Structure 1
Amino acid sequence: MGQPQQRAIQLTTTTSTRLRFYGINLGVPVFLALLVFVTFDLTNIDRQLSDMLFDSAAGVFPIGQIHLFETITHKWARIIPNLTGELAIIGAIMSFVWPLLERRRNSGLTQLAIRARLERPLQFARRHRLDFFFVTVAFSVSTGMIHYLKSHTSVYCPVETTLYGGTQAHVEWFRNFNLLHEAGAGRCWPGGHASSAFSLLALYFVARRYCWQHSNVLLAGILLLGMIYGTTRVLQGWHYMSHTFWAGIVVWLSSLLVALCFYGRAKLQRPVRKGSLSYGNDQPLVRPLKSSATLTRSAG
């Protein structure tokens, strides 16, 4: 086989691989967005579902009156995404500590860190600096997109509308969308609580970077968590069901964009590897570290 033919085959393979990646990761979410729009936004299904949960005689959503349910599913549930974001920020900051300590091996601070056995977590933070920054930026971008859409559509929550005893008019998001300016005081679309769980999708892209064999299980778990978060708010009358679907789609697309900027398509598309996580170049994710005694001798 001649060199021109080999190049042609390689180009065809690369193009096919690229199309497959974007078809799955971009094409499927866009298709789902169109499906949600046609199925929910252009019909009354959202309101029909909420009508089933609303007690018209009492004028309330019964589950929304259970304070323990609110505490567990709304307040306590925030701990998971909030803690993940905070750990990512801390990890990004700590990733700069060990390189500074290594430059001053004889300093008392370095020796203190070694004796306290902090070298392993600090070296871990250094090795995964890019990942910590990615998660931080992905959280920020997805949260920013959700807040932008909330303020530029001004959709009120079901319990705030006249349909369910409120004072505000029910308006579809696409009829109220304003690209450059805030559309009003409503802040209900897409679902914010669901998006906080979906923001964990950033962890899936980290897992894909390292070709983790259980990355799809992680993806399924995060999507399930997002659906649970969103559904609990639907039961309380604070969201329509479609708000959860839209939150997942927006967060996925935002996280995908950030992942492509940080890692590139090629690294995200590598096949999963059985066994431990790896960098894709046969180097283990958790590399052997020098012992404290070795570092102490080196420092001396």
Structure 2
Amino acid sequence: MPSDALVHVGLAAAGRAPAGFYRRHLLWPLLAFIAAAAALEVFDIDRAWASRLYLAQGSDWTLRSSFVADTVIHTGGRLLAISAWLATLTIWIVALRREHLASWRWPLAYLLLATASAALLVGWMKSWTNMDCPWDVLGYGGTRPYHGLFAARPAGVRGTCFPAAHASAGYCWLALYFFFLATRPRFRWLGLAVAIGLGVLIGFTQQLRGAHFFSHDLWSLAICWLVALGLYAAMLQGRTQAGCPRRLR
């Protein structure tokens, strides 16, 4: 069966919104996230993990300003994500001008909107959630008492470290999974692996630098997945044969 026909079959099935799709892509991931977030809070895993990383560096965040952690991964990872978004924008603009690529316009628009929306949402939440970075907290080189995610914060204290914005530069590309699901389903796991790999790399590096607790990255992952899924349901799910992309050429 030609690849376009396979895409049509997949999209037609998705258009019927089977319960199994939302069970696999919404219910189970949401339950897994709730369980993981609860475990982090109940067992105080954030501080236990941060303590391990802090003590391993000689009771200091020695990697905070290291070339590899700060320049290559922290700054470079963000620039890589921005460059990938700009490259996608360029391809979309080309598709707007070339009729034989017309069927790729909507999926590419989805990818641009989903990645940007996820990253911007995480950044916006970070601006008002008022959570500290590990390096701000007593016991990890800082001066502020630790407050859990759901604990009341004292007035006059301002933290801007939750969720993890830099990790979202990788996790926002979870939208690749749904982009390929709608266009070339056999590549969807590759897209998922790329996004998770980049998000974990940046997120773990930020944890090593003392910039984030583990839960900050978990929430960024969840937010990016839900944004990607929601926009997939709104923009790509159930598109007709006429809307199915052909091969780029």
Decide which moves more: 157-166 or 19-28: 157-166
- 1:93 is matched with which residue? 93
Aligned residue pairs: how many?
Answer: 234
- 1:153 is matched with which residue? 129
TM-score by length of 1: 0.69
CA change 1:138–1:254 in 2 (3 A) is same
- 1:274 is matched with which residue? none
Q: After TM superposition, list the pairs within 5 Å mapping 1:5-154 onto structure 2.
A: 18-55=18-55, 59-98=59-98, 123-124=100-101, 126-154=102-130
Task: Tell me, yes or no, if the aligned pair for 2:61 and 2:209 is still in contact at 8 Å.
Answer: yes
Identity %: 22
Task: Tell me, yes or no, if the aligned pair for 1:154 and 1:186 is still in contact at 8 Å.
Answer: yes
CA change 1:208–1:58 in 2 (3 A) is closer
- The one of 185, 206, 215 equivalent to 1:233 is 206
Mapped to 2, the partners of 1:220 and 1:170 lie a distance apart of 34
CA change 1:204–1:280 in 2 (3 A) is farther
CA change 1:261–1:87 in 2 (3 A) is same
CA change 1:261–1:162 in 2 (3 A) is same
CA-CA distance at 1:34 after TM superposition: 1.0
The higher-RCO structure (CA 8 Å, 6+ apart) is 2
SS, match of residue 154 in structure 1: coil
Mapped to 2, the partners of 1:228 and 1:54 lie a distance apart of 18
CA-CA distance at 1:255 after TM superposition: 0.8
Mapped to 2, the partners of 1:19 and 1:226 lie a distance apart of 29
- 1:203 is matched with which residue? 176
Note the residue ranges of structure 2 that are not aligned, 5 or more in a row: 1-12
Partner deviation per Cα, 1:146-190 (whole Å, 9 max, x = no partner): 12321232111000122312133322233359xxxxx96322111
Would you say 1:220 and 2:155 are equivalent positions? Answer: no
SS, match of residue 186 in structure 1: coil
- Equivalent residue letter for 1:286: R
Mapped to 1, the partners of 2:211 and 2:57 lie a distance apart of 19
TM-score by length of 2: 0.81
Mapped to 2, the partners of 1:259 and 1:171 lie a distance apart of 36
CA-CA distance at 1:27 after TM superposition: 0.6
